[in-house]
């Protein structure tokens, strides 16, 4: 029971930390990114970069890296975007595996407590001299089953929170890939040698920057 209580505190701390982190990221970045694309078309990448750096969302970090690397060769830019994307996605998914582990371990710990309690209950019943009453057996069994109940009580919220937070992290990862694809399309169409944007003149495979993290 003490182990399960410790699991519950850890799960609560991880859930609060992730929820606060995702709240800190703020909005869904669709409208923000559309405005960034529009500003790049009208004002160029260099004038858009300060606005990008002010945003806290992980998508902004990808856009910032992409715009900062426009003057570099395409291969180097792709490698840098991929590296930054991996680090950003790692921070987005931080501690989620802890929730998944607690969701799987809690029922097992509860079952272990039940089995140990049953062994002790039957051992005590065996030591009783004379006739064993049903109450002697029932009392030890229901006490042993409490650990399984509490194990499930801890595991079910952990599993629900894990799937909910993982879905949000996957949504952020898809937005990061979408941002890279949109920037590829924008500069492949609009950029020419010597423009202010400094983008590539040949279109590359969309989304290849994130092939390593999908």
Domain that holds residue 68: 1-214
pLDDT digit string, tens, across residues 127-183:
766 566 666 666 667 778 888 999 999 999 999 999 999 999 999 999 999 999 999
Number of structural domains in the chain: 1
Q: pLDDT value at position 106? A: 93
pTM (two decimals) = 0.74
**Reduced 3-state DSSP string for 146-212:** HHHHHHHHHHHHHHHHHHHHHHHHHHHHHHHHHHHHHHHHHHHHHCCCCCCCCCCCCCCCCCHHHCC
* pLDDT tens, residue by residue, 78-121: 889 999 999 999 999 989 999 999 999 999 999 998 888 888 77
Closest CA to 122 of 147, 100, 105, 139: 139
Alpha carbon distance 188, 197 (integer Å): 11
From residue 12, how far is each of 100, 103, 189 by CA, in Å? 13, 12, 48
């Amino acid at each position: 029971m003490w182990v399960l209580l410790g699991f519950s505190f850890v799960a609560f701390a991880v859930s609060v930390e992730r929820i606060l982190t995702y709240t800190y990221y703020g909005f869904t970045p669709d409208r923000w990114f559309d405005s960034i694309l529009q500003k790049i078309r009208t004002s160029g990448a260099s004038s858009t970069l300060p606005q990008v750096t002010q945003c806290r969302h992980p998508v902004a970090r990808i856009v910032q890296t992409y715009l900062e690397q426009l003057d570099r060769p395409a291969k180097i830019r792709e490698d840098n975007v991929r590296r930054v994307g991996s680090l950003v996605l790692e921070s987005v998914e931080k501690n989620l595996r802890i929730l998944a582990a607690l969701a799987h371990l809690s029922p097992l710990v509860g079952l272990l407590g039940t089995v140990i309690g049953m062994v002790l209950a039957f051992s005590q019943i065996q030591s009783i001299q004379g006739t064993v009453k049903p109450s002697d057996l029932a009392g030890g069994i229901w006490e042993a089953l409490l650990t399984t109940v509490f194990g499930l009580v801890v595991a079910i919220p952990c599993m629900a929170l894990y799937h909910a937070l993982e879905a949000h992290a996957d949504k952020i990862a898809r937005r990061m890939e979408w941002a890279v694809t949109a920037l590829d399309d924008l500069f492949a169409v609009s950029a020419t040698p010597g423009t202010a944007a400094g983008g590539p003149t040949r279109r590359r495979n969309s989304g290849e920057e994130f092939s390593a993290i999908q």
